[in-house]
Structure 1
């Protein structure tokens, strides 16, 4: 499958986690010694616990808890669950959720170790890769589509939509050139948090990235 010329990566977080990221100047994995002790989780609580112990079979190994996860797409099934409070996920307003946007190119240029999964990393059918070639196994048609519900014709679409890139341990905040929000109100809040110190970071409204 043809790999896009530019590959954007998206991490969704609760906006109230952003001040800690700005102060520490890095985004950390859950197991990091410098992780936010008051981090507000937005995912399936039971799945979060399972990810703590799921081993990564490729270098640099560890568990899923040792990585910062990014999707290759917007409007993920996870965001849908957050909006609706489905599947053990706390229901939240979309103004509470922001996108941290970077790219595969920035990760690769940094030399940070990473793992690519061709679907949801916790799913037993998903395959891990730790080189560029892994990108060719991602279903870029599903990634680009707003349709991801499983169907009788394609019962595996939701898993593939949730392909992930995992960055080992942490990455500097300056590797995130953009932050997207649901509304102008949320955008103003994020600009206030980011402040003048991080003028290179573009903060913008992308309502179409939400439900």
Structure 2
């Protein structure tokens, strides 16, 4: 699952691909990422082929409601200054599969957690994914650390990193938070000449915090 702001989709659809952060340049209409996190990904070396740094890859998560999306939703809720202010509602998921990436012979690397963390491991071996990724945790709705397991959040941030670019013909479908966003996305797709794409409304894939909402 890769997510991006809906304002970025026209350029992505026109290019027919997602591109790595190090190559995206001015094509990113709305940047929802943290400048500090992006800087760390530009510095973190990937220790297995094809090498480079994390920002040389297009990132995909294995589960919705990631810690990164939680940060975006909380920044909006709290009105945090100098951050992307729009929350997670305008974000669109682009969904694919490891099998599609592998069958297309794309170069990829998987991590077992947050790519910025020093203890995170990487592999480019498909059989390794069975043990590398904490699949039971990916299926859980709550990923916060617990007294017995202080590493849950890091592991929930495991990624499949596709080298340099990801062609959109490998996308299975799209997901949005609300019916209104579905209508908006379908118009964006129609404008790009895409008529029959699968678009799902998945409110449970989002946090959707309102401004200054207090969690009970």
Cross-structure match for 1:92:
86
Contact 2:5–2:92 (Cα < 8 Å) also in 1: yes
For residues 120-159 of structure 1, the aligned pairs below 5 Å read 120-136=114-130, 137-159=132-154
Cross-structure match for 1:54:
44
Contact 2:74–2:87 (Cα < 8 Å) also in 1: no
Q: Distance in 2 between matches of 1:177 and 1:134?
A: 24
Cross-structure match for 2:26:
37
Contact 1:71–1:164 (Cα < 8 Å) also in 2: yes
Cross-structure match for 1:7:
none
Contact 1:84–1:91 (Cα < 8 Å) also in 2: no
Consecutive unaligned residues of structure 1, counting only runs of 5 or more, are 1-9
Consecutive unaligned residues of structure 2, counting only runs of 5 or more, are 208-216
Q: Distance in 2 between matches of 1:160 and 1:201?
A: 31
Residues 84/68 of structure 1: CA separation in 2 closer, same or farther (3 Å cut): same
Cross-structure match for 1:78:
68
Cross-structure match for 1:13:
4
2:172 pairs with 1:177 = yes
Residues 202/194 of structure 1: CA separation in 2 closer, same or farther (3 Å cut): same
> Offset at 1:38?
4.0
Deviating 4+ runs (over 3 angstroms): 86-89
Q: What TM-score, normalized by structure 2, do the two folds share?
A: 0.87
Contact 1:114–1:166 (Cα < 8 Å) also in 2: yes
Question: RMSD across aligned C-alpha pairs, in angstroms?
Answer: 1.7
2:85 pairs with 1:117 = no
Q: What secondary structure does 2:43 align onto?
A: coil
Contact 2:41–2:55 (Cα < 8 Å) also in 1: yes
> Offset at 1:198?
2.1
Q: What secondary structure does 1:193 align onto?
A: helix
- Determine which of 69, 85, 95 is the counterpart of 1:101: 95
Q: What TM-score, normalized by structure 1, do the two folds share?
A: 0.89
> Offset at 1:200?
4.3
Q: Distance in 2 between matches of 1:101 and 1:26?
A: 13
2:184 pairs with 1:189 = yes
